[in-house]
Amino acid sequence: MSAIRFEGVTKRFGGLAAVDDLNLEIRKGEFFSLLGPSGCGKTTTLRMVAGFDQPTEGHIYLDGEPVETVPPYRRNVNTVFQSYALFEHLNIEDNVAFGLKRKKVPSDEIRTRVAEALELVELHGRGKARPRELSGGMKQRVALARALVNRPSVLLLDEPLGALDLKLRKQMQVELKGIQREVGITFLYVTHDQEEALAMSDRIAVMERGLVKQCSSPEDIYEHPSGPFVASFIGTSNLLSGVVENGCVKLATGASCVAQVPSDCPQGAEVHLSVRPEKIWLDELEEGMVELGGTIVERVYVGTTTQVIVELGPGMRVTALEQNTARVGSDNRWQIGDRVRLGWHREHARVLR
Amino acid sequence: MNENRFASAFLVPGGLWLLLLFVTPLVLLLALSFGYTDDLGEAIYSTRLDNYERLIDPAYLPVLFRSVGFALAAVVLCLLIGYPVAYYIAIFGGRWKNLLIVLVVLPFFVNYLIRTYAWIALLGDDGMVNGVLDSSVRFLNTPYAVVGGLVYGFLAFMILPIYASLDRMDPSLIEAGKDLYGGPWQTFRHVTLPHTMQGVLAGSVLVFLPAVGDFVSASLLGGPEEVMIGNLIQQQFQASDNWPFGAALTVAMMAFLMVLMVSYLRAAAREAKEATA
Amino acid sequence: MSTVESRPSAPARPAADARRAPGKPPKGFDRPRFLKLFVGVFFVLLFAPIALVVLFSFNSSRSLQDFQGFSLRWYETFFESESLRDSLIASLEIALLTMLIATVLGTMLAYGLVRARTRVSDSLNVLMLVPLVTPEIVAGASALLLFTQVKLDLSLTTIVLAHITFSISYVTVVVRARLVSLSREVEEASMDLGATPVETFRLVTLPALWPAVLAAGLLVFALSFDDFVLSFFTTGESPQPLPVRIWTQIRFGVRPTINAIGTFMLVISVLSIGLALLLPRLLGRRESGLKVLLGREGA
Give residue C194's pLDDT band: very low, low, confident or very high (50, 70, 90): very high
Burial of A70 (0-12, 13-18, 19+ CB in 10 A): middle
Nearest CA-CA distance, residue C46 and chain A, Å: 41
| Residues 75-134 of chain B whose Cβ lies under 8 A from any Cβ of chain C | 81, 84-85, 87-89, 91-92, 94, 98, 101-104, 106-107, 109-115, 117-122, 124, 126-128, 130-132
Q: Which residue has the higher pLDDT, C47 or C27?
A: C47
> Percentage of chain C surpassing pLDDT 70?
82
Contact C128 B14 (CB under 8 A): yes
Tell me which chains share at least 3 CB pairs under 8 Å with chain B: A, C
Q: Which residue has the higher pLDDT, C290 or C155?
A: C155
Give residue C7's pLDDT band: very low, low, confident or very high (50, 70, 90): very low
Q: Under 8 Å CB-to-CB from C14, ≥6 apart: which residues?
A: none
Contact B18 C131 (CB under 8 A): yes
Task: Outline where chain B has alpha helix (H).
Answer: 2-9, 11-18, 24-32, 50-56, 61-92, 97-105, 112-123, 128-133, 143-168, 171-181, 184-187, 193-212, 216-221, 229-237, 243-276
Taking CA–CA distances from C204, the nearest residue in chain A reads A87
Q: Any long-range contacts for A220-227 (C-beta under 8 Å, 24+ apart)?
A: A222/A198, A222/A276, A224/A350, A225/A274, A225/A350, A225/A352, A226/A352, A227/A352, A227/A353
Taking CA–CA distances from A99, the nearest residue in chain C reads C193
Contacts of B5 in chain A (CB under 8 A): none
| Residues 106-125 of chain A whose Cβ lies under 8 A from any Cβ of chain C | none
Mutate to test the interface with C, among A87, A110, A133, A157 (most CBs of C within 10 A): A87
Cis peptide upstream of residue C239 (ω within 30 degrees of 0): yes
pLDDT at residue C56 is higher than 80: yes
B116-171 confidence digits (pLDDT tens): 888 887 887 777 777 777 777 778 888 999 999 999 999 999 999 999 888 888 87
pLDDT at residue C12 is higher than 60: no
The pLDDT of residue C275 is: 82
pLDDT at residue B62 is higher than 90: no
The pLDDT of residue C19 is: 42
* Single-letter amino acid code for the residue at C295: G
3-class DSSP state of A300: strand
Question: What's the fold here for domain C81-294?
Answer: MetI-like fold (1.10.3720)
Q: Which residue has the higher pLDDT, A143 or A223?
A: A143
Give residue C296's pLDDT band: very low, low, confident or very high (50, 70, 90): very low
Whole-model pTM: value is: 0.79
A194-223 confidence digits (pLDDT tens): 899 999 999 999 999 999 999 999 999 998
Whether residue A267 lies within 8 A of chain B, CB to CB, comes out as no
Task: Outline where A75-165 has alpha helix (H).
Answer: 92-102, 107-120, 136-148
pLDDT at residue C18 is higher than 80: no
To the nearest whole number, what is the mean pLDDT of chain A? 89
The pLDDT of residue B4 is: 82
Cα–Cα dist A264/A247, whole Å: 12
3-class DSSP state of A215: strand
In Å, the largest CA–CA distance within chain B is 76
The pLDDT of residue C119 is: 86
Burial of A19 (0-12, 13-18, 19+ CB in 10 A): buried
A234-255 confidence digits (pLDDT tens): 887 888 888 888 888 888 888 8
Cα–Cα dist B137/C140, whole Å: 36
The pLDDT of residue C14 is: 43
How large is the C-alpha radius of gyration of chain C? Answer: 25
User: How confident is the model over A169-173, as a mean pLDDT?
Assistant: 89
pLDDT at residue A329 is higher than 60: no
Domains of chain A, CATH where assigned: 4-228 (3.40.50.300), 236-352 (2.40.50.100)
Asked if B208 and B76 count as a contact pair (C-beta separation under 8 A), the reply is no
The pLDDT of residue C9 is: 43
User: How confident is the model over B231-257, as a mean pLDDT?
Assistant: 88
Find residue A189's DSSP bridge partners: A33, A157
3-class DSSP state of C194: coil
Give residue C13's pLDDT band: very low, low, confident or very high (50, 70, 90): very low
Give residue A331's pLDDT band: very low, low, confident or very high (50, 70, 90): low
Burial of B31 (0-12, 13-18, 19+ CB in 10 A): middle
User: How confident is the model over A332-352, as a mean pLDDT?
Assistant: 85
Highest CATH level, class, for B58-276: mainly alpha
Domain positions in chain C: 30-71, 81-294
- Going from the C-alpha of C112 to that of each of A97, B5, B15, C23, C214, the distances in angstroms are 29, 10, 10, 38, 19
> Percentage of chain B surpassing pLDDT 70?
97
Whether residue A88 lies within 8 A of chain C, CB to CB, comes out as yes
The pLDDT of residue C1 is: 38
Give residue C291's pLDDT band: very low, low, confident or very high (50, 70, 90): low
